């Protein structure tokens, strides 16, 4: 059982739908990692979410004069 907040975990929120960490039980759908999914999404994306793709920033143009001085 979950020992969070008086012995009960919180059911996943809509933002968790599609995540592989969310598991269905007879009493509802719960996160395997965090007992309170709402708290993880409050400040932005959940860092353990498997259904969100993070876009990587592309490297900007490199100045060839400075690149030659770096020493590879």
Q: What is the mean pLDDT of the chain?
A: 81
Report pLDDT for 72.
Answer: 55
pLDDT digits (tens, 9 = 90+) for 32-50: 888 888 888 888 888 888 8
CA distance 15 to 70: 45
Report pLDDT for 3.
Answer: 65
pTM score of the predicted model: 0.60
For the segment 14-19, the average pLDDT, to the nearest whole number, is: 88
Of residues 70 and 39, the one with the higher pLDDT is: 39
């Amino acid at each position: 059982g979950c020992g969070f907040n008086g012995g009960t975990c919180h059911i996943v929120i809509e933002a968790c739908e599609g995540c592989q960490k969310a598991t269905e039980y007879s009493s509802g759908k719960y996160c395997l990692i965090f007992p309170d999914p709402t708290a993880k999404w409050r400040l932005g994306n959940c860092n353990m979410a498997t259904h969100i793709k993070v876009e990587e920033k592309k490297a900007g143009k490199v100045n060839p004069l400075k690149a030659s001085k770096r020493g590879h």
